[in-house]
Amino acid sequence: MARANLTSAVVIAAAADLADRDGFDTLTLSALARGFGVQTASLYSHVRDRSTLIERIHQLALAELADRIALAIGGRSGRDALAALADAHRDYARRFPGRWTALQRPATEATVRSEPAARVAGLTLAMLRGYPLPESELVHATRLLAATVNGFLALEANGSIAHREPAVETSWQRALDVLDSAFRDWPTEGRS
């Protein structure tokens, strides 16, 4: 019987693939082991337990997402950059639903302080700096962006707005328009 020759990274990658293929909540160590032709208990040499496995998928997804965002933003700025970033999120969520679900889970302190997390945050900030936002408002803008994009993707993911007229694409464009306008003309304390 040939060995599978597992490593931590291989196990995590396979787990992410499995979550993408069969859905996040059917991601089970048993199924994972089955895929490797290995006993379930053997996986515990490579992963502490199920919850840390999910945390590692989270980190993996964060790194992959950061790469895609960086690639997408490229030399763009303004609305183009905003759309590129948001679409990168959306593409990722659609192509890798399991990984994306893992991303929605509460991040560990370690994950929050990880390099990929900082990279995503940095790219987002860089994009936002293309707008005339006061430095003190950047956090609020970031939060709004994250809330809107992730909220929209969550709605799509749970089927609330899929396969319904009018097309979701239009709604998505409207959302991006609204964000673009908001960043361009940001409401501060004493607006009229």
Residues near a second copy (CB under 8 A): 104-107, 136-137, 139-141, 143-144, 146-152, 154-155, 158-161, 166, 168, 170-171, 174-175, 177-179, 181-182, 185-187, 191
Residue 143 beta carbon to a second copy: minimum distance, rounded to whole angstroms:
4
Task: Tokens for 60, please give them.
Answer: 């993996």
Between vectors from CA 100 to CA 161 and to CA 148, what angle results, nearest 5°?
Answer: 50
172-191 residues near DNA, rule: CB under 7 A:
none
43-102 residues near DNA, rule: CB under 7 A:
44-46, 48-51
Q: Is 25 in the site for DNA (CB under 7 A)?
A: no
Residue 111 beta carbon to DNA: minimum distance, rounded to whole angstroms:
18
Residue 29 beta carbon to DNA: minimum distance, rounded to whole angstroms:
3
CA distances for 43 relative to 17, 19, 59, 112, 178, angstroms: 16, 16, 19, 26, 47
8 Å CB contact between 31 and 22: yes
CA distances for 151 relative to 38, 101, 133, 160, angstroms: 38, 12, 23, 11
115 binds, among a second copy, DNA, none (CB under 5 to 8 A by kind): none
144 binds, among a second copy, DNA, none (CB under 5 to 8 A by kind): a second copy
CA distances for 105 relative to 51, 130, 150, 185, angstroms: 10, 30, 12, 32
| 35: enclosing H helix or E strand | helix 29-36
Residue 64 beta carbon to DNA: minimum distance, rounded to whole angstroms:
23
Q: Applying CB under 7 A, which part among 3-11, 76-84, 95-103, 118-126 lies near DNA?
A: 3-11
192 binds, among a second copy, DNA, none (CB under 5 to 8 A by kind): none
Place of tokens 């006993």: 39
Task: Tokens for 19, please give them.
Answer: 């979550």
| Nearest to DNA of 25, 169 (CB atom) | 25
Interaction site with DNA (CB under 7 A): 1-7, 28-31, 37-42, 44-46, 48-51
